[in-house]
Amino acid sequence: MPSSGHRLRDVEHHPLLAENDNYDSSSSSSSEADSADRVWFIRDGCGMICAVLTWLLVVYADFVVTFVMLLPSKDFWYSVVNGVIFNCLAVLALSSHLRTMLTDPGAVPKGNATKEYMESLQLKPGEVIYKCPKCCCIKPERAHHCSICKRCIRKMDHHCPWVNNCVGEKNQRFFVLFTMYVALCSVHALALCGLQFISCVRGQWTECSDFSPPVTVILLIFLCLEGLLFFTFTAVMFGTQIHSICNDETEIERLKSEKPTWERRLRWEGMKSVFGGPPSLLWMNPFVGFQFRRLQMRPRKGGPEFSV
């Protein structure tokens, strides 16, 4: 099986676990068995700060749009329509952010590189498999180790601190929705800011807002800067994600120029594999497949992730 050089080095210098290794495979298998019933969360300081900052910026934008621009407006339907649209986009953006952050991106079970597990695979003579020396797991094809999550992630695209998680096989659709809805929120906020500035200038800043003119100007300028920054970042990320999905190539694979050893799913086949099923409005819904999971405040040893 052809593979990239870094996987070959893993095999050459780090053989599979022997029977007398110190890793407790029984405790690992028991902890992984019920992982589907718990919420995934990464305990990374930088990631948690970035995630909270993302929420605060979206809430700030919603505050300015609602209380500075729409509620003081004399046009009732203008306020209602734009308020409903913007708040719906904000809820969808934050919901997509939560789904991206709290969804297992496709982590490979730790410590499964044991003799017993090897025998259960029923490998053919001469068949080569690869072991990650950092999390002691059998590394599937297209999996890469994340130094922040301390896990191997299937089809890992990249680790994003703004969602405090890796973007991988199981949560890429939510990350794409997050970037799309934030970009739409940014465009809508910028359009409303432009209209608000025109209205305030025409009315000589007397009745365009319930706040004083200097405060209104500061709030609107900061929202414009935030909207431009967020739109630029999320639009670029949305474009690169769609390009990667349509070419069935992750960002890591592109940067490392890895030659594909898998059968590529191009364009719509790739989109259907990520979003599930044929094109429909369900692709735009971040709540698809959502289930309430039991709360367990129990940290997991051996890595920064824990389940709640």
How far is Cα 219 from Cα 223, in angstroms, rounded to an integer?
A: 6
Annotation says 160 is catalytic: yes
Note whether 151 and 135 are within 8 A (CB). yes
Quick check: helix, strand or coil at residue 159? strand
What token pair was written down for 79?
A: 């306020």
Catalytic residue among 160, 185, 200, 208: 160
Radius of gyration of the chain (CA): 24
* CA-based end-to-end distance of the chain: 39
How far is Cα 301 from Cα 217, in angstroms, rounded to an integer?
A: 50
- 139 sits in the region (left: phi over 0; alpha: psi -120 to 50; else beta) called beta
Task: State the DSSP H helix or E strand holding residue 18, giving kind and residue range, or none if neither.
Answer: none
Cβ-based neighbour number of residue 276 at 10 Å = 13
Signed CA dihedral, 169, 117, 137, 251: sign only: negative
Question: 41 — phi, psi (to 5°)?
Answer: -155, 135
Quick check: helix, strand or coil at residue 40? strand
Extract long-range pairs of 264-271: CB within 8 Å, 24+ residues apart.
Answer: 270/245, 270/246, 271/245, 271/246
How far is Cα 232 from Cα 186, in angstroms, rounded to an integer?
A: 9
User: Cα 43 to the chain's mean position, in Å?
Assistant: 15
Task: State the DSSP H helix or E strand holding residue 307, giving kind and residue range, or none if neither.
Answer: strand 305-307
Catalytic residues, by residue number, are: 160
